[in-house]
Amino acid sequence: MPRAAADVPAFVRLQVEHSGQCLTIEEGSFQEGAYARQLKCADGLDNQLFELLPSGSASFEVRAKHSGRCLSVDADLKWAGQRWCFGSTPPQHWKVVMVEVTKELYELRPVHVPNWCLDIAEASLDEGEHAQIFQCNGTDAQRWRILSAVS
């Protein structure tokens, strides 16, 4: 991931290491609370494109291109999905932590629960499996590539 905010590409795809699939807002939904899932990475899907917008103290909002809504964590720490972006809402702010330099892999951690990570449920390889928040455990279901994408 580029060091300076000015170096961050306008849009990125988040590709999970264990399955090679991309974080996707289900069915291109604009609905509040629409789930994030893993689906095959594909060009032309704006619901797989995200902006990483600096939100202070080395954290980012992860904003979906298609809806303008932010990747968020529910209060029970059970799912990840999109919500209206509110600048001061901790469940919408993420730390992007490099965990493997050679493969350029990162963990995405909500700032309000720093020992929890964006995760694919049960490390499933199934297309359409839900993204969730789970205690960080170093598995490939929690390790993400940040891929430059054409908008």
Residue 13 and residue 41 in contact, taking contact as beta carbons nearer than 8 Å: yes
Output the domain CATH number for residue 67: 2.80.10.50
Q: How many domains does the chain have?
A: 1
pLDDT value, residue 6: 52
Task: Provide the residue range defining the domain that includes 59.
Answer: 5-149
pTM higher than the cut 0.75: yes
Residue ranges, the chain, pLDDT below 50: 1-5
pLDDT value, residue 1: 47
Q: Secondary structure of the chain: what % helix, strand, coil (to 5)?
A: 10, 40, 45
Which element (helix H / strand E) includes 133?
strand 131-135
